Structure 1
Amino acid sequence: MRLHRNLVFAVIDALNMIFNQGEYADKVIEKVLRYDKRWGARDRAFIAETTYDIVRWKRLYTEIAEANDPYSRQHLFRLFAVWCVLRGIRLPDWKQLEETPERRIKGRFDELSKIRKFRESIPDWLDELGEKSLGDALWTKEIAALNKQADVILRTNTLKIQKKGLQALLDAEEIATETLEGYPDALRLKERKNVFTTQAFKDGLFEVQDASSQLVAPYLDVKPGQRVIDACAGAGGKTLHLAAQMENKGQLIAMDIYESKLKKLKIRARRNGVHNMETRAIDSTKVIKKLYGSADRLLLDAPCSGLGVLRRNPDSKWKLEPEFIDRIMGVQQDILQSYSRMLKKGGQMVYATCSILPQENSKQVYRFLESESGQGFELVKEQNIYASKSGFDGFYMALLSKSQ
């Protein structure tokens, strides 16, 4: 691989914004890719994938490079040099990369790779929490799986097209895909490409959605004609999936505390051809109370630590703090206690997170069931999805029914 100065400098700029200015990696990549309109697909892929890779392995690389926070430009180039050496990429004769100790880098890598917190590039507290919560064996496998680059998975919008038809259309646009057993609407890209520029995306024929996330809506077992509430809709990936499963029949209410997210969801819904959805911003408790006892189905895709989706958000390893997990667990229980009242007798509710921690998942459900608000609810089934076993994001789902 021949390194181009302008592309490498773009990576250094991106790392500076992420590591020193605390910006989110996905937003930084969007910004940096606008630097030069002449960059082609390969150039853009190099910038994005190299940046994400160095972010993913930040702790390991900084230890090898002896680079410290705040990172000077020289330190960022050292991190880049480590990335090159460990991938067998020949370093160019640039002053920023002079005197890179290649043998020492390889030696330090071999040494540090024996220690999990360095090998998997995670903070001490997170390594301790993971081991305590999941046990040594499962945590070791899981954090290794969560450090692998995520596949690009599409969900067929069955309101407009069936999977075989979508596959043929994408193939015509030179995007090769394959089906996934056990995921009826999913297609996996054989090679990473920008699918958002395709006509199929513009026509609302698919959404990008991880395979594990695609299991949540079917878990709720919605039927056409029902009143279904997605109470933590966010940007609405699961809301749109619910609409497709309802065949656009009945009433689908998407709720969130952030109105800005609901506005984006409306745009996505129009593109998807969703007609049975309305949005309601949760700006007071009255919004929830008005819907007490009215939902046939209720989805609580609760805010969480996001530890199950580290593959696609590697920078969250460095932004996440133990205090946040304690705080978000309080929010999760509040949501279960309050929002569950929207379910009618005979209805079903799914509590889901993209976390792998039992304290955010099954322990929250059992705590709810033991509380006064949980009386009349029964746990029908639950499922822990681990990246180390599925190959996709880590998730948790619990289906509860309300008998009284």
Structure 2
Amino acid sequence: MRLHRNLVFAVVDGLQLIFQEGVYASKAVEQILKRDKRWGSRDRGFIAETLYDIVRWKRLYSEIAEVKEPYSRANYFRLFTVWAVLRGIPLPNWKQLEDTPTRRIKGRFDELSKIRKFRESIPDWIDELGVKAFDEKFWDKELHALNQLAPVVLRTNTLKTSMPFLRQRLLEEGIASDPVSGYPHALVLKERSNVFTTEAFKEGWFEVQDASSQLVAPMLDVAPGHRVVDACAGAGGKSLHLAALMENKGQLIALDIYPKKLHELKRRARRNGAHNLETRLIDSSKVIKKLHQKADRVLIDAPCTGLGVLKRNPDTKWKLQPEDLEKLIVTQRQLLTDYSKMVKARGKLVYATCSILPQENEKQVKDFLESEEGQSFSLVKEQHVYAHKSGFDGFYIAALQKD
């Protein structure tokens, strides 16, 4: 493999955006890829995958390169150098990459790979949380799985097509995929591809949604004609899934505190042909009060640490701080207290996170059920999804029934 200067410099600029300016990795990649329209799919793939790789293994590479934050531009080149050497990629004779101690890099890698916090490139405090929550063997497996590249999974939009028809249509557009056992509407791509340029996407035949995330909406057990509230809708991946499961019949209300996200959801809903969905901005407590005891189903897809989705968001582990976890736990508890009031008698509430930590998941549900607001609810079913067992994101989903 031959390294090209403009691509390597783009990777370094991306690292600077992420670690110096605090830009999310996904946004940094998006920003960098807009620079040069002449870059082909291979060039773009190199930039994106290399950036994500270096972000994912930042702690290990920093230790090998003997650099510390705040990084200088020269430090970013050293991180890149470690990445290249460990992949056996010949280094060109550039000033930025000169005097690379290739043998020392490989030796340091072998030495540090014996220590989990370096081998799996994780901050000490998160490693300690994992060990406390799970046994060492389980945590080793889960961490290792969370460091693997996430597969590209699609969810068939059943308002417009079926999974076999979508699979055939994608194949006609040069994209091969396989069904996923246990996930009736999921297709996993055989090779990574930019599916957003396909006609099938433009026509609303599918959404990109991890298989674990596709388990959440069915847990609500919705039916056509229900009034359903997605209380933390965001840009609406699960709202759109719910609309399909409701067959566009009934009322689906998507709530969020961010107008931009709801605007994006409206756009996606039009493409999906989801006509029973309306968005409402939570700009005061009145929005929630108007829905007290009015919903057959309520989904609380709660804000969380995101430690179950490190496969696709590896920068989360570097941005997250211990105090963030404490704040999130308080927020989750408050959401359960406030939003559960929207559920009518004999209705259902689903609480979900993309975290694997007990204090964000089963402990929150247990505490809620023991609270005054939770006394009329009972736990019907809960599901822990772990990356090393499923091959997909880590998730927690709990279904509660109101008396």
Normalised TM-score (structure 2): 0.99
| Partner Cα distance (1:228, 1:207) in 2 | 20
Instruction: Provide Cα deviations, 1:58-102, integer angstroms capped at 9, x if missing partner.
Output: 000000001121211211111111001111111111121111111
Following superposition, the deviation at residue 138 of structure 1 comes to: 1.5
Q: Which letter maps to 1:194?
A: N
Q: Which letter maps to 1:383?
A: Q
- Determine the structure 1 residue equivalent to 2:400: 400
- Determine the structure 2 residue equivalent to 1:391: 391
- Determine the structure 2 residue equivalent to 1:30: 30
Map 1:308-327 → 2, pairs under 5 A: 308-327=308-327
| Partner Cα distance (1:354, 1:113) in 2 | 28
- Determine the structure 1 residue equivalent to 2:140: 140
Secondary structure in 2 matching 1:398: strand
Map 1:341-360 → 2, pairs under 5 A: 341-360=341-360
Instruction: Provide Cα deviations, 1:92-133, integer angstroms capped at 9, x if missing partner.
Output: 111211111111000000000010000011111111111111
| Partner Cα distance (1:217, 1:75) in 2 | 44
- Determine the structure 2 residue equivalent to 1:249: 249
- Determine the structure 1 residue equivalent to 2:187: 187
| Partner Cα distance (2:29, 2:201) in 1 | 21
| Partner Cα distance (1:136, 1:301) in 2 | 29
Q: Percent identity, please.
A: 69
| Partner Cα distance (1:210, 1:153) in 2 | 5
| Partner Cα distance (2:152, 2:344) in 1 | 37
Q: Which letter maps to 1:148?
A: Q
- Determine the structure 1 residue equivalent to 2:332: 332
| Partner Cα distance (2:18, 2:228) in 1 | 39
| Partner Cα distance (2:380, 2:13) in 1 | 50
Following superposition, the deviation at residue 135 of structure 1 comes to: 2.4
| Partner Cα distance (1:72, 1:373) in 2 | 52
Secondary structure in 2 matching 1:184: strand
Gaps spanning 5+ residues in structure 2: where? none
| Partner Cα distance (1:158, 1:29) in 2 | 31
Q: Which letter maps to 1:41?
A: S
- Determine the structure 1 residue equivalent to 2:370: 370
- Determine the structure 2 residue equivalent to 1:233: 233
CA RMSD of aligned residues (A): 0.7
Q: Which letter maps to 1:65?
A: A
Map 1:194-343 → 2, pairs under 5 A: 194-343=194-343
Following superposition, the deviation at residue 153 of structure 1 comes to: 0.3
Q: Which letter maps to 1:251?
A: Q
Normalised TM-score (structure 1): 0.99
Instruction: Provide Cα deviations, 1:330-355, integer angstroms capped at 9, x if missing partner.
Output: 00000001100100001111000000
Instruction: Provide Cα deviations, 1:277-330, integer angstroms capped at 9, x if missing partner.
Output: 111111111111110111111111011010000110001111000100001000
Gaps spanning 5+ residues in structure 1: where? none
| Partner Cα distance (1:67, 1:258) in 2 | 38
- Determine the structure 2 residue equivalent to 1:81: 81
| Partner Cα distance (1:52, 1:44) in 2 | 12
